[in-house]
Amino acid sequence: MSQKKHRSLLSRVRHPKQPPPEPPPSPPVSDNSPQSPTPPSPNPPTSQPSPPSTHHFSDEDASRTQLKTNNAPSPSPSPNSKLPIQNLKLKIPRRLLYWLAGLGGATLLALAFRPTPIPVDLGQVQRGPLQVTVDAEGKTRVRDRFTIAAPVAGRLARIELDPGDSIEQGTIVARIDPLPLNTKVREAQARLQELRAQLAGVETQRPKSAALAQAQAQIRAAIATQQQAEARLEDAKAALAQATRDRKRAQDLEAAGAQTRKVREDAELAETQRQQELEVAKNQVKGAIANVAAAQKALSVLQAEQQDPDYLQEVYRAQIASTESTLTNLADEARRTVVRAPVGGTVFRVMQESARFIQAGEPLLELGNATQLELVIDVLSTDAVKVNPGALIHINYWGGEQPLKAKVHYVEPSAFTEVSALGVDEQRVNVIANFTNPPRSLGDGYRVEAQIVVWEDPDALKVPVSALFGCGDQAWCTFVAEHGKAQRRQLVIGQRSNLEAVVEQGLQVGDQVILHPGDQIKAGQWIRDRT
């Protein structure tokens, strides 16, 4: 291809007008960048065409360009266009580039020094039912348990019953050898006969009526003798007085010479005799009085002996009554050597299986109605004051698939001391409850986990307890997730369970709270959801 043809082809390729300040160099025409030829304009522009490019093309490139030019369709020229539109380059101001570069650098710096968000678990504040419960362990027990004990001491025969056996009321459950009791019964009967014989013999110990009459006659005779002695005493006194007068008269007459000395001496002798007679009479009176007293004493002794058997009768009658009572008791015990079931039910335990000698009162076996179960839950005394009769109880982990329900029957009024696993003395109280749907698979003494409902609200505004933490004197706070940051809020908390608490003030439905906030969580800290 000739040189002129190359120039004619290159002259058709026009470059856009460069800005006056710094015209950039025209990009080289590449084989891979085809360009459409510029159609002839009806109104050629007044501006001078750009000088031809200094790049040299080979014959192959020129022919390829010519071929593309001939094959390309000719676009219709726009009436308003004054310049060709191919190969136009958008010029970006340098200031804009600097500004964009600075903005990008600032963004990178901000991202580089921005704190790394802490991954947290988020929970949501919502409305729904909430129950506050007292959680404790309990066990089942038969409502009416009967412990059958040995009614008497003796040799127990082997008990043939086994735990789990069903028996009816009146069934013989144990037998005790009655031989020792029969011996005691015969001894008591012999003693009773002896006491009755002694009571009958009391009458023979009484004084006879003839002895009493004789004693009374002796008293009367002694009184008569006393009266005679007193009469003789009076006679002796009178004779002594007369003898004393005769002696004085004789002495006077002797002194007057009217009588002899012998008359005076006889008078003195007579006075002495009368005085001695008076002493004898006095002694006789005293003896008579003593005889009367002795006779009266003898009568009193006889009368006392007459009453003494009355005392013996009372003693014997009391002994007879005691022996009869003992005999009755022994006979009853002898009849009770055959032990029967007081009620029908199921045998729970057999405490004495083998034959052996037992004492009265030793337990033999336990029985009761296994279908009539109740629940015994021991709780702290501080929790027992919150439990009211009729409260609902949820029973879990009892071994079955479905949870059970019960209701509080009553709370025992007396507490007991129990040592905890940490060695701390705790005051605990038994809560007694009745099952509403007891299953047949439960038995006596089975362990359950109970949740006693002490408060409930079907539509409570609640927050997870794991999102709460203490922030002052009896105050509660939480961290709320807002726009990717943790914001601290103080709350007013009402009732709460192990998992959720009632929000009275500080949160709304839908608020996102941080669960289990650690020491790294602060107000304004960047966070992100761990999920």
Residue 8 has pLDDT above 50, yes or no: no
pLDDT at 401: 84
Average pLDDT over residues 474-491: 92
Crossing angle of the two packed helices 261-335 and 179-200, in degrees rounded to 10 = 150
CB 390 within 8 A of CB 407: yes
| Residue 443 backbone dihedrals phi, psi, to 5 degrees | -125, -170
pLDDT band at 78 (very low <50, low <70, confident <90, very high): very low
Residue 286 has pLDDT above 70, yes or no: yes
Strand 118-124, strand 527-529: pairing = parallel
Give a yes or no: residue 236 inside a domain: yes
CB 428 within 8 A of CB 383: no
357 and 419: one domain?
no
Mean pLDDT of the chain: 79
Residue 53 has pLDDT above 60, yes or no: no
Residue 21 has pLDDT above 60, yes or no: no
459 and 510: one domain?
yes
Which tokens hold the place of 111?
A: 């991202």
pLDDT band at 122 (very low <50, low <70, confident <90, very high): very high
281 and 221: one domain?
yes
Residue 392 has pLDDT above 90, yes or no: yes
pLDDT at 243: 87
136 and 248: one domain?
no
> Which one of 335, 352, 377 terminates a domain?
335
451 and 503: one domain?
yes
134 and 156: one domain?
no
Domain residue limits at 243:
185-335
Give the three-class secondary structure for 136: strand
The domain spanning residue 392 has which CATH number?
2.40.30.170
pLDDT at 114: 66
Contacts of residue 63, Cβ cutoff 8 Å, sequence gap at least 6: 1
pLDDT at 480: 95
497 and 427: one domain?
yes
Q: What share of the chain is helix, strand, coil (3-state, %, to 5)?
A: 40, 25, 35
Question: What is the length of the chain?
Answer: 531
pLDDT at 208: 66
pLDDT band at 65 (very low <50, low <70, confident <90, very high): very low
The domain spanning residue 351 has which CATH number?
2.40.50.100
Question: By mean pLDDT, which of 25-34, 237-246, 509-518 is the weakest?
Answer: 25-34
315 and 350: one domain?
no
**What amino acid is encoded at 275 in this protein?**
Q
Give a yes or no: residue 98 inside a domain: no
Give a yes or no: residue 43 inside a domain: yes
224 and 251: one domain?
yes
Q: How many C-beta atoms lie closer than 10 Å to residue 302's C-beta?
A: 19
| Residue 162 backbone dihedrals phi, psi, to 5 degrees | -125, 155
**Which of 194, 192, 200 has its CA nearest to residue 321?**
192
The domain spanning residue 252 has which CATH number?
1.10.287.620
Give a yes or no: residue 220 inside a domain: yes
pLDDT band at 386 (very low <50, low <70, confident <90, very high): very high
pLDDT band at 190 (very low <50, low <70, confident <90, very high): confident
277 and 199: one domain?
yes
Where does 359-482 show beta strands of DSSP type E?
363-368, 373-380, 392-396, 404-411, 416-419, 425-435, 447-464, 469-470, 476-482
Question: By mean pLDDT, which of 175-184, 270-279, 280-289, 384-393 is the weakest?
Answer: 175-184
Pairwise CA distance, residues 182 & 176, whole Å: 12
* Domains: count for the chain: 4
Pairwise CA distance, residues 356 & 184, whole Å: 20
200 and 285: one domain?
yes
CB 91 within 8 A of CB 19: yes
Residue 315 has pLDDT above 70, yes or no: yes
Give a yes or no: residue 96 inside a domain: no
Instruction: Enter the DSSP assignment of 285.
Output: H
Give a yes or no: residue 39 inside a domain: yes
> Which one has a higher pLDDT value, 105 or 483?
483
Give a yes or no: residue 179 inside a domain: no
Strand 476-482, strand 118-124: pairing = unpaired
- Each residue of 322-334: pLDDT tens digit? 888 888 877 777 7
Give a yes or no: residue 22 inside a domain: yes
Average pLDDT over residues 97-120: 78
- Each residue of 209-255: pLDDT tens digit? 777 777 788 888 888 888 888 888 888 888 888 888 888 888 888 88
Which tokens hold the place of 75?
A: 């676009």
Residue 71 has pLDDT above 50, yes or no: no
160 and 201: one domain?
no
pLDDT band at 36 (very low <50, low <70, confident <90, very high): very low
